[in-house]
Structure 1
Amino acid sequence: MSAIHANLSVEKVEALSPADFIIYLNTKKEALFLRDDHINALASRELSGSNFLKLTTERLINPPYNFLDGPAERIVDFVTRLNDQSNIIPQIDDSQYNLRKRSHDDSDDDRYDSNSNPQLSRSQRSSFNRSSSGTSGSQQSSSKQSASKQSSSNTSGKQNMKAQNFNYGDFKYNSILSAGENKKVLECEFHGQTIVLKCTDLSKKPNCLDELLNEVKIYKSLAKLQGIYIPELLFYGDLANGMSFVMGMSMVGTTLSHHKIDKRQKKRALGALDKIHDYKILHNDIREENILVDEKGYVYLTDFGMSIRNDDKELFSKEKCELSRLLDCYM
């Protein structure tokens, strides 16, 4: 890069190499009241622009940086302002959105809560069933048939979801959840719903498309597990006439590294992996970043870009042991 300007978009900051990032940071030195030792501390870690955008106050006030609260908070405030300027969130017009918006009524809530909501314990479900026993046989039969049809319809919709075309627009951007060389994962607001948006720039990394399309295929195969053991796939398709590819998924929690789990949660995570294996799918990328825990403590598996179809029970067993060992580190 021949020149580094003081006012760069978050996308351009994210693309800065370690050397270019330090040049850029020096343009902000006075505005952020940073000293040479602050700049040198960041330079010594060879941070790129994408690394910088993930800094937190907690990281800055601890080794190896050991910043005081003041400069640490000023840097993080600056990072937050940068992230708020992102312009990569796709907007879908209402006519497109209505085609894939889930139908919703009170009967759907009752059916989901009583039969498939992972937040209901066995005893709660038993209690629900007992409380329903007073209804007539014909009413129960009709209700079960209706619920069965609705469940089949939802599953079919997820399995038959089609790619759509997206444009840059006015979605509300919240934060970067992760950013790598090939793709980034964002939290944003989508028609009032907080979602996870995974995207990759195909003009720079065209080979990444295969990984994302594989993930879409796996999500469709696991349609019955969506929203229970894995996030829901909400949409996918091209952004800006094929310049990028995006996937929208439900927000179900934060990564395992932010949590301490108990035996019940470990059992649930292993059970989720068993369910995936039942579909003859090997997750193939067991890492703490791919295990999510929600605010109520329920555990989900995510990120199926590397997953493969397989029927090797030995591989399934090894993967389950791998997950078990990882979970033990957070108990």
Structure 2
Amino acid sequence: MSNASVSPRAPSGSLYWAIQAKRNIGVRGLFLVVLAFLVAYGLLFHGLFTGSGFAKFTQSWFPLALVAMAQAILMLTGGISLAIGALVSLGAVLAATTMTGPLGVAGGAALVCLAGFGIGAATGIIVVRLRLPAIVVTLAGSFIIAGAALLVLPRPGGAMPPWLSDLLAGNTPAAFGLLVVIVLLWKLYLATPLGLSLYAAGENPVGAYRSGVPVDAARILAYAISGLLCTGAGLFVAAQTGSGDPIIGNSFTLNSIAAAVLGGIGFLGGQGTMRGALAGSLLLSLMISVMFFLGFTPVAQYVAQGLIIIGAVAIPQFRMRAR
């Protein structure tokens, strides 16, 4: 057979990169804004690019990055969670009350992970099997989980092993290393059948179901992974503070939604990427740090943060409509 008779084939990676380019629409401007804030923060805080400075910054960013990922994975499937903050608090108090006791670090970490995964899975089953609105189920769940956290630890207290706090929140970039590992695990998960079903479950669940995609299983597992990430963030926060606090996660719920939306994650599902959500969480952390060094009052910080979020979300939308 001559070479002329063989029809040319498209490069194997062309479809992948085309899909990735489509998913990045609307967040390219965000990457530029993040870069600008990173440069500004580096100029204001010269120790950022030292080992200890980089470690401290990534430690402050890490919990927000985890909850942004937790919210993003649900929004990709068309869901949302208002129980993010309560799960963070529950993870923190469980870690602070078990890791210095008979269970030890390994047993306490396993309990924290099991609690997050189990609660997330139960929430997903209620939402998916009973066909109830995710926002209602997670709102009710947030009160139940917050109450459980108060039962475990009615007031701030408990303790974390000093060596664990030094490891996670010391002068080493352990938080950044953990984040890299989590991102790699996320990429591996996307290569599995359930991972590939995430976008289909959010973008066109009926069509995906008719095509044989395990939509319900993908959505339930998304809630379970989200819960695991949240309680993991609580464990890290407890290591940072050296103790547990039953209300320490309250601010993470709205910040997780803001980070995901900043990153281009759509509320209707099937739109956005996890790298966008991570970039959104990084922007929120940078904004807080830059405004602190510039001497902004707390009220001015809230106003400036809101205006920047609106601008970062609205400008790409205006440009897409203009096209």
Higher helix share: 2
TM-score, scaled relative to structure 2:
0.25
Higher RCO, 1 or 2 (CA under 8 Å, sep at least 6)? 2
Larger Rg belongs to = 1
- Which structure is higher in strand share? 1
Q: Normalized against structure 1, the TM-score is what? A: 0.25
